Homo-oligomer: A and B are copies of this chain.
Amino acid sequence: MTEKPIRKIGIFKCGNIGTSPLLELLLDELADRQDIKVRTVTTGSKMALEDVEEALPKIFEFNPDLFIVISPNTALPGPAKAREAISSSGKPGVVISDSPAKRVKADIEKQGLGYIIITGDPMIGARKEFLDAIEMALFNSNISKVLAVSGAYRMVHQEIDKAIYAMEAGQMPVLPKLVIDLAAIRDNAELSNPYAKAKAMAAYAMAEKLAEINVQACFMEKESEKYVYLVSCAHEIAQGAAKLADEAREIEKYNDTLVRKPHSKSGKLKIKSKLMQPPVFAEEPQGKTNT
């Protein structure tokens, strides 16, 4: 294991979606994975072209083996610039973005990049009458819970893991072409109780719905007495979705069937479901999603 070269994952974040804050942590949650190291450069909440142009070179200077660029709406100039640069580098790259990215899937494919589009990773209620640092943090907390429990985060890290494993095996990584929509949640969520899955799907569907409401509130409604109610409504849906996600996971805890898949030191996933039993290597840890 120790003789294998360590792969470097270079993550570039501009702007923020619900998958962004924890992305690098999803790949190495125990901080003891010996097959990869992760380096991230971000421009914070801003994602203008000039921000990207200034910050992007730093991630290249880390000389990563695999690039990930994550942002809202990857079609905007800033994220688009990042995609171009990674595409030009000749290194494998994966774009992670939210629902509007569906419109540029073909472009991304032409760029030779993989993509993971998460339809349940919704725009925040970015209106000054409503959003401050605390409201922002709570929204991220709630969305994060939904994406974690519903399986979206699992699909994200397993797709990246799969690319890494391929590189480690000396193969060209098969980059993901994955839209994580409600059907993908249904087909991939690792919840053994069917009502737990239904609740997780419900949470995810709610996140999709609130995305629509926030888009309307932020880009279409002009009167504050209208859009403030809409963004407030959207964040209430987020809170409700987080509660449903919690419920879904509780069901698995009640039945002691909660699946855990820690990364081993080698990078491969182990798996377990009964809390008091140890995790073991699954035979095909990388084969479960995106079929």
Contacts and interface: CB of A to CB of B under 8 A. Distances in A.
Interface string A78-107: 000000000000000000000000000000
A239 B199 CA distance: 10
Nearest to A241: B240
Contacts of A113: none
Q: Which one of A40, A133, A244, A256 has the greatest number of beta carbons of chain B within 10 Å?
A: A133
Contact of A229 (B30, B47, B54, B186): B186
Contacts of A201: 229-230, 232-233, 236
Chain A: interface secondary structure?
helix
A89 to B, nearest CB: 17
A142 B149 CA distance: 13
Interface in A123-175: 126, 128-138, 140-142, 144-145, 147-149, 153-154, 157
Contacts of A249: 138
Contact of A275 (B128, B228, B234): B228
Interface residues of A, number: 107
Nearest to A242: B141
Contacts of A135: 29, 260
Interface of A: 15-16, 21-22, 24-31, 37-47, 51, 54-55, 58, 61-62, 126, 128-138, 140-142, 144-145, 147-149, 153-154, 157, 182-183, 186, 193-195, 197-199, 201-202, 205-206, 208-210, 213, 224-226, 228-230, 232-237, 239-244, 246, 249, 251, 253-256, 258, 260-264, 270, 272, 274-276, 278-279
